């Protein structure tokens, strides 16, 4: 442990199970000395998050459904009650209807489109607005994206469009918050076998493409993504904002 985040208070949204990238980031942040505030969705998930993270440096668990403004506001109030500045926020949330990930994009219905945008993109804006007053010493806000935001990836569909909106939001938030010394960045991770990724039809084909075509000829490891998050959250990343950092075995440079 290098204690790169020693003394930091870090909010992580999206820890759902041991396969999630948010969990890998929570492990890495705890290793580097950060105190963690984790969110959960509903009481059933609270117990699983509590059990999953019992060996991590968890300061507080907070309920937060990012589709509900009152819960986001209350999360901010509860964070403020801890009586210390918030240094880092990790937004690792995305959702789309399963059927919208398996049929042609042109068939996406209005409610499915808006749902994907709401959970996957707008939630970053809403959460940021709620926590910025607590980031009195500046800090870092991170979110998770994917190559499907700028290229057509089979069966990624409405989620690719939501990730494009998310990346644009990163740039605008970075511009807004720069004067407050708050950095906003995204990590574009390669295909990783998370529970949410399994909702993508023919997901094993994406994994196979990475091993066949990426420069490293292997899949992305969650720990690699987590260490990139440590870099962006620490003073080592102090000059980086409005950026998309690719951690994908180099897959994003490969053409047809």
Q: Which residue(s) pair with 35 in the sheet?
A: 9
Q: What's the CA gap between 122 and 131, in Å, rounded?
A: 15
User: Which of 23, 40, 122, 156 is labelled catalytic?
Assistant: 156
Q: Round to whole Å and give the CA distance between 227 and 72.
A: 27
Pick the closest to residue 21 from 226, 239, 250, 245 (CA basis): 226
Distances (CA, A) of 95 to 172, 214, 253: 22, 27, 26
146 belongs to the catalytic site: yes
- Which DSSP letter does residue 138 get? B
Rounded to an integer, what distance in angstroms lies between the CA atom of residue 122 and that of residue 130? 13
- What element of type H or E holds 167? helix 157-177
CA–CA dist 190, 221 (Å, integer) = 8
Comparing CA positions, the residue from 87, 45, 83, 38 lying closest to residue 62 is 38
Sign of the Cα torsion 150, 250, 175, 21 reads: positive
**Does the annotation mark 122 as catalytic?**
no
Q: Which of 23, 122, 146, 172 is catalytic?
A: 146
CB 230 within 8 A of CB 128: no
**Burial environment of residue 51 by CB neighbours within 10 A (0 to 12, 13 to 18, 19 or more):** exposed
The catalytic site residues sit at 146, 156
């Amino acid at each position: 442990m290098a204690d790169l985040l020693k003394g930091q208070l870090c909010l992580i949204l999206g820890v759902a199970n041991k396969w999630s990238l948010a969990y890998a980031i929570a492990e890495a942040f705890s290793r580097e000395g950060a105190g963690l505030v984790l969110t959960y969705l509903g009481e059933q998930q609270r117990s699983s998050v509590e059990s999953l993270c019992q060996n991590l440096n968890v300061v507080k668990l907070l309920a937060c459904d990012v589709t509900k403004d009152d819960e986001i506001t209350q999360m901010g109030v509860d964070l403020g009650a801890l009586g210390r500045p918030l240094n880092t926020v990790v937004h690792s949330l995305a959702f789309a209807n399963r059927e919208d990930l398996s049929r042609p994009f042109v068939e996406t219905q209005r409610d499915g489109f808006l749902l994907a945008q709401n959970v996957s993109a707008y939630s970053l804006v809403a959460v940021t607005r709620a926590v910025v007053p607590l980031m009195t010493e500046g800090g870092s806000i991170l979110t998770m994206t994917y190559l499907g935001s700028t290229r057509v990836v089979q069966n990624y569909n409405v989620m690719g469009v939501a990730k494009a909106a998310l990346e644009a939001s990163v740039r605008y938030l970075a511009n807004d918050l720069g004067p407050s010394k708050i950095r906003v960045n995204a990590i574009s991770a390669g295909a990783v076998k998370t529970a949410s990724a399994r909702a993508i039809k023919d997901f094993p084909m994406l994994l196979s493409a990475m091993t066949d075509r990426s420069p490293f000829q292997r899949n992305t490891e969650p720990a690699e993504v987590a260490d990139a998050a440590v870099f962006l959250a620490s003073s080592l990343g102090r000059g980086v904002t409005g950026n998309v950092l690719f951690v994908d075995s180099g897959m994003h440079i490969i053409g047809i």
